[in-house]
Structure 1
Amino acid sequence: MVIKYKKIKNFTGKELQNLFLSVNWDSGNYPGKLKKAIKNSHRVYSAWDLDEDNGQKKLVGLINSLSDGVMTAYFHYLLVMPEYQNMGIGKELVSLMLAEYKDFARLIVIAYDSEVEFYKKCGFELGEDKSPMFVTYLKT
C-alpha cells in the first residue's frame, strides 16, 4: 500500500460519497452538494491509496478548510476510511493543513467528543467558556 497526499479540489461525487459514508457521515448522502462544498473550500488535502499493481487509486482521507485567507482558518472536514485509520493518515492531513496556515492567528476545529484526544495530540486545545452551536439538518 502506498499513500500519496494531494492538494486538489476536484473529486467525483462518488469518491466523496464513498469516503463520507464509510465513516457514517450523513453528508455522504448529498454527493452533489459535497462536490460543490469541497470545490468552494479554501484549501483541501486528500490521501490516496495507490495500488501500483493494477494502477487503481482510492480516496481514503480528506481535510478541508474554510478561511478568510488572512487571520482565521476553520478545519471543517477531517475523515479517513475506517480500514485506513490508525496509520497516521489523519495526523499527516492535519500537519499539512497546520503548515499551510502557520502564520494565521486562529485555527479552529470543532471535534466530536470521541476525537478530542486526537486533536490535542495535533496541537489543538479545548476552548474555555466556548461552545459550538449549530443549525443543521444533518445527523452526523
Structure 2
Amino acid sequence: MIKYVNSIENINEDNIKGFFVGWANPPSSKKHLEILKGSTYFWLAVDEGKGKVVGFITAISDKIVSSYITFLEVLPEYRNIGIGTELFKRMKGTLENYYMIDLICDEKLVGFYRKFDMFKSQGMIIRNLKKQSGE
C-alpha cells in the first residue's frame, strides 16, 4: 500500500534511494534529504510494505503569490500506477491559493501536466553542471 506524507519522520538515507534517474551526477541520498528539508513544501509516496520512499514532489515558494515545483519523480518500478498523479494532485492542493504555480519539464511530459490545467509557456534556464555534486 502506498501512503502519502509530507513529513520526513522515519525517512533516512537507506529508504530514499534510486532517485534522480538519468542524471549524470545524481545527488546522494544525504543530499536528497537536504533537498526535502530545504523545500517550502513536499510530499512523499511511501511503500508501507517495503518501508521505502517510491516517489516525491517538491516546491519552493515566496509564501505570498508564487510557487515553483522543483521535482516530481517516481521510481521506475513504481511508474504508471498513479503515484505521480496523486503526488501532483496533493501538491496542487497545497499550492491552490498561490497566483503562480510554475514548473519546467521535458517536452514528453507536457501532456501529463496538461491534465492538471497547466499550460505550456516559455522559460529560460542555466544548468551549472560543474556545481552539481552527489555529495
The question of a shared fold, defined as TM-score above 0.5 by the shorter chain, is answered with: yes
Q: Distance in 1 between matches of 2:124 and 2:15?
A: 29
Alignment of 1:97-136 (within 5 A): 97-127=91-121, 130-136=122-128
Provide structure 2 residue ranges, at least 5 long, that are not aligned to the other structure: none
Q: Distance in 2 between matches of 1:103 and 1:48?
A: 26
Instruction: Read off the aligned partner of 2:75 and give its amino acid letter.
Output: M
What is the CA distance between 1:29 and its match in structure 2?
3.8
The alignment of Structure 1 onto Structure 2 pairs a total of residues equal to 130
Q: Distance in 1 between matches of 2:27 and 2:79?
A: 22
Write 1 or 2 for the structure with the bigger share of helix: 1
Residues 39-88 of structure 1: CA distance to partner in whole angstroms, max 9, x if unpaired? Answer: 0100110001111xxxx311100000110011111000100011111111
Task: Tell me, yes or no, if the aligned pair for 1:44 and 1:63 is still in contact at 8 Å.
Answer: yes
The one of 49, 58, 63 equivalent to 1:64 is 58
Provide structure 1 residue ranges, at least 5 long, that are not aligned to the other structure: none
Task: Tell me, yes or no, if the aligned pair for 2:15 and 2:51 is still in contact at 8 Å.
Answer: no
Task: Quote the RMSD (CA, aligned, Å).
Answer: 2.0
- After the TM superposition, which parts of structure 1 deviate over 6 Å for at least 4 consecutive aligned residues? none
Summarize the Cα distance change of 1:27–1:109 in structure 2 as closer, same or farther, 3 Å threshold: farther
What is the CA distance between 1:113 and its match in structure 2?
1.4
Aligned residue for 1:28, secondary structure, equals coil
Match of 1:84 in 2: 78
Percent sequence identity over aligned pairs? 27
